[in-house]
Amino acid sequence: MRLILLIAAAFTFACSDGSNPPKPAIEATPAQKVELDQSSKADTSKKTMAKTTAFDGERAFNNVKTQVEFGPRPAGSAANEKAREHIVRELNSYGLKTTLEEFTGNTPRGKVKFKNVVAELPGESPNVIIIASHFDTKPFKEFTFVGANDGGSSTGALLEIARVLASEKEQKRKFTYWFVFFDGEEAFCHEWSECLDGKDNTYGSRYMANRLKKEKQLSRVKAMILLDMMGDKDLTIPREEGSSQWLVEAIWGTAQQLGHAKEFPSRPSSVGDDDHMPFLRAGVPAVDIIDFEYGSAPGENDYWHTKEDTLDKISPRSLKIVGDVVLLSLPRIEAQIR
Residue 144 lies in a domain: yes
Strands 97-107, 175-182: pairing is unpaired
Secondary structure class of 101 (helix, strand, coil): strand
Q: What is the pLDDT of residues 194-209, one digit of tens each?
A: 899 889 999 999 999 9
Confidence of residue 158 (pLDDT cuts 50, 70, 90): very high
DSSP secondary structure, 13-29, as one string: ---TT-PPPPPPSSPPP
Residue 48 lies in a domain: no
Secondary structure class of 154 (helix, strand, coil): helix
Strands 110-121, 175-182: pairing is antiparallel
Confidence of residue 24 (pLDDT cuts 50, 70, 90): very low
Q: Who has greater pLDDT, 35 or 163?
A: 163
| pTM, entire model | 0.85
Please say if the pLDDT value at position 23 is more than 60. Answer: no
DSSP annotation of 153 reads: I
Secondary structure class of 118 (helix, strand, coil): strand
CA distance to 65, 85, 128, 150, per residue, from 89 (Å): 16, 6, 23, 22
Q: What is the pLDDT of residues 287-317, one digit of tens each?
A: 999 999 999 998 899 999 999 999 999 999 9
> Cβ distance 81 to 151 under 8 Å?
no
Strands 97-107, 286-290: pairing is unpaired
Please say if the pLDDT value at position 45 is more than 70. Answer: no
Secondary structure class of 272 (helix, strand, coil): coil
DSSP secondary structure, 123-150, as one string: -SEEEEEEEEEE------SSS----III
Q: What is d(CA 306, CA 200) in angstroms, rounded to the nearest whole number?
A: 19
Residue 198 lies in a domain: yes
CA distance to 120, 159, 226, 249, 319, per residue, from 83 (Å): 19, 12, 19, 33, 19
> Cβ distance 125 to 287 under 8 Å?
no
Question: Whole domain around residue 251: which residue ranges?
Answer: 54-336
Residue 129 lies in a domain: yes
Residue 309 lies in a domain: yes
Give the total number of structural domains in the chain.
1
Confidence of residue 170 (pLDDT cuts 50, 70, 90): confident
- Residue whose C-alpha is closest to residue 286's, from 129, 119, 118, 126: 129
> What's the CATH code of the domain at 238?
3.40.630.10
CA distance to 103, 148, 280, 328, 338, per residue, from 272 (Å): 25, 22, 12, 27, 28
- Average pLDDT on 156-160 reads 98
- Residue whose C-alpha is closest to residue 75's, from 179, 187, 157: 187
Residue 25 lies in a domain: no
Average pLDDT, the chain: 87
> Cβ distance 305 to 142 under 8 Å?
no
> Cβ distance 180 to 208 under 8 Å?
yes
Alpha helices in the chain (DSSP H): 30-48, 57-69, 78-93, 154-167, 203-214, 245-257, 277-281, 316-336
Residue 222 lies in a domain: yes
Helix/strand/coil percent split, the chain, to 5 = 40, 20, 45
- Average pLDDT on 32-42 reads 38
Residue 28 lies in a domain: no
